[in-house]
Structure 1
Amino acid sequence: MTPSSRRLLLLLALAALPLAASAADRRTLVHDGIERHYTVRVPERLPEGRVPLVLVLHGGAGNAENAEEMTGFTAKARREGFIVVYPEGTGRFEHRFLAWNAVHCCGPAMTGKVDDTGFVRALLDRLAADLPVDTRRVYATGLSNGGMMVHRLGIALPDRFAAIAPVVATVFGDEPRPASPVAALMINGALDTSVPPAGGPPGGRVTSAWDGTPTRPAQAQGDFWAAANGCAPAPDERVDGTVTRWQYRCTPGREVEVLLVGDNGHAWPGGRPGSLRGDRPSRTFDATDAIWSFFKAHTK
């Protein structure tokens, strides 16, 4: 291999890595008396005009950097030309061991009743003022506790999101009906013992951060959003390789799907594990690709 070839391979490898957040990428917003943090990634080459925005919420005990590394959404945003933002929850330490108040989970954010919905509403206002955001193409996805929070955002702020995509998350059965429809894609792991796809008590580290309300089965997420979106209650089921797909019959623009990835545990399918001890993600299914494909098909 020639020296020039080696340099090219090195540049390509570096380009594939997530960027370390610079001071310009890390931003703050004071909401409800709390200084909140978020990381912004704007591709160097954006299309003309206003562009889509994707919020990616980290899991419990995570942070913005962790969410970026696990999901690979920054690389996807570069290729597809959209803005991706990684908000951070709250906790006892700055930028570490953070969580979201998803009502029944998790940790101090839950017990302290932190107004995370209000924070995200204020964040969307700030981002729309600071960046060329197309407010008709705003989306939210998140992992585990972050995915639970994404359900809550879809319910509380249905006018702000064109589609949502919780990953290895759940509903608890007492969620209120949103005021208007939101397209929803849910992705769960068949091997998940932290948020079991059959429902019931969560396991692993989730247990200590939870209020004891049993989780509902993975498909209950689809049933909830199908009812909210006026879809037929019984989904069509099919198996594609390792993925079982439940697809509800909905009016165009209000689609609801639940995907159960057979070789995935409590991890972001196709991404990176959250820690050395964390579950290994599926290598047969890429959640980021599936989510962006679903998102870009929906406009508010």
Structure 2
Amino acid sequence: MLVMTWPAGAATASPAGGRQSLVVQGQQRHYVVRLPPGARAPGERLPLVLVLHGGGGDAAIAEKTTGFTAKGQREGFIVVYPEGSGRLANHLLTWNAGHCCGLAMQRGVDDVGFIRALIDKLVADYPVDERRLYATGMSNGGMMAHRLGRELGDRLAAIAPVVATLFGDEKKPGHPVSALMINGGLDASVPPEGGRPGGRFADAWDDTPALPATAQGRFWAAANGCAATPETRTQGPVQRTSYRCPAGRDVQMLLVADNPHAWPGGVAGSRLGDPPSVSLDATDEIWAFFKAHPKP
């Protein structure tokens, strides 16, 4: 019989509970773990979803914004909220996604190394199914999800960046990774047409203009050996674009016309945050995509 060990506080329900730490390259990093009911069953292996907060956020904000903890409780998967870094230990944190954002970008923080070490620790500490490792995130966290897909494709089965972008100098991934991208038609911070970043935190970028949102689909379609021409259909305010791809390497894009810089179907991260669209539940869409795409 397989006997699992469990770090104290890992399954607590409070957003502030379950915060753990890991030292990577001499730096203490933090993350929050949420386990579903019955996760302690001997021998059972569960999917793991990494949810990356946006620039200036933290684990609590990501949990509140996305509702992924409740989804994991209902569907039976582990949710982990890693935290970026910054001047403060647990506030105003960012990820080094390449051209964004803040101190993590400026200092060249090895966030890919942190996430790789975190995955190794989570696999050792919890009943994780290594064929079902996934990463999603919003804004700066979505850009980091792109980077993780490119550089940790040997571990991740799929990614789902939300209101994120690419810049045109990204290297081809070493491994195919299924990808779902969700963008907002009213997004002023990461404009779907591309160009200079806007919003309240435009100075957190390095001023490299972003590509149009559609470039994300083309990038992953080329990386995964998909057909070059996608199929697009529109239902109300939601435009769905799908590429014909080899089995297990799907690439899809959703453009939510009435969504600003927010997590569709979620909750605004703060009183100053954009109100999310109710035309689509991004968390439901992402989990359905992840569930259908284990690593081949």
TM-score tier after normalising by the smaller chain length: over 0.9
Pick from 133, 139, 164: which aligns with 1:169? 164
Mapped contact 2:15–2:63 kept (Cα < 8 A): no
Q: What is the alpha-carbon distance in structure 2 between the residues aligned to residue 19 and residue 241 of structure 1?
A: 37
Q: What is the alpha-carbon distance in structure 2 between the residues aligned to residue 19 and residue 201 of structure 1?
A: 38
Q: 1:44 Cα deviation (Å)?
A: 2.3
Q: TM-score, normalization: structure 2?
A: 0.93
Structure 1 residue 42 and structure 2 residue 35: aligned?
yes
Q: 1:20 Cα deviation (Å)?
A: 2.6
Q: Residue by residue, what CA displacement relative to the aligned partner does 1:109-135 show, whole Å, maximum 9, x if unpaired? A: 000000000000000000000000000
Aligned position for 2:284 = 289
Pick from 99, 104, 108: which aligns with 2:99? 104
The structure where helix makes up a greater share of residues is 1
Q: What is the alpha-carbon distance in structure 2 between the residues aligned to residue 251 and residue 206 of structure 1?
A: 39
One-letter amino acid matched to 1:252: A
Q: 1:212 Cα deviation (Å)?
A: 1.0
Q: 1:203 Cα deviation (Å)?
A: 0.3
Structure 1 residue 160 and structure 2 residue 155: aligned?
yes
Aligned position for 2:74 = 79
Pick from 260, 266, 274: which aligns with 2:261? 266
SS in 2 for 1:277: coil
SS in 2 for 1:152: helix
Structure 1 residue 128 and structure 2 residue 123: aligned?
yes
SS in 1 for 2:200: helix
CA RMSD of aligned residues (A): 1.0
Count of residue correspondences: 281
Q: Residue by residue, what CA displacement relative to the aligned partner does 1:68-109 show, whole Å, maximum 9, x if unpaired? A: 000000000000000000000000011100000011000000
Q: What is the alpha-carbon distance in structure 2 between the residues aligned to residue 21 and residue 274 of structure 1?
A: 15
List aligned pairs for 1:18-97, cutoff 5 A: 19-22=14-17, 25-46=18-39, 49-97=44-92
Q: 1:19 Cα deviation (Å)?
A: 3.0
Q: What is the alpha-carbon distance in structure 2 between the residues aligned to residue 276 and residue 26 of structure 1?
A: 24
SS in 1 for 2:150: helix
Q: What is the alpha-carbon distance in structure 2 between the residues aligned to residue 20 and residue 260 of structure 1?
A: 30
SS in 2 for 1:244: strand
Q: What is the alpha-carbon distance in structure 2 between the residues aligned to residue 107 and residue 113 of structure 1?
A: 10
Mapped contact 2:20–2:30 kept (Cα < 8 A): yes
Q: What is the alpha-carbon distance in structure 2 between the residues aligned to residue 277 and residue 104 of structure 1?
A: 24
Mapped contact 2:194–2:209 kept (Cα < 8 A): yes
Q: 1:149 Cα deviation (Å)?
A: 0.3
Mapped contact 2:31–2:80 kept (Cα < 8 A): yes
SS in 1 for 2:179: strand
Q: What is the alpha-carbon distance in structure 1 between the residues aligned to residue 274 and residue 259 of structure 2?
A: 8
Q: What is the alpha-carbon distance in structure 1 between the residues aligned to residue 71 and residue 14 of structure 2?
A: 13
One-letter amino acid matched to 1:261: V
One-letter amino acid matched to 2:23: V
Q: Residue by residue, what CA displacement relative to the aligned partner does 1:177-218 show, whole Å, maximum 9, x if unpaired? A: 011100000000000000000000010133111111110001
Q: 1:267 Cα deviation (Å)?
A: 0.2
Name structure 2 gaps, 5 residues minimum.
1-12
Structure 1 residue 191 and structure 2 residue 186: aligned?
yes
Could you tell me the percent identity over the aligned residues? 64
SS in 2 for 1:263: coil
List aligned pairs for 1:224-263, cutoff 5 A: 224-263=219-258
Q: 1:237 Cα deviation (Å)?
A: 0.8
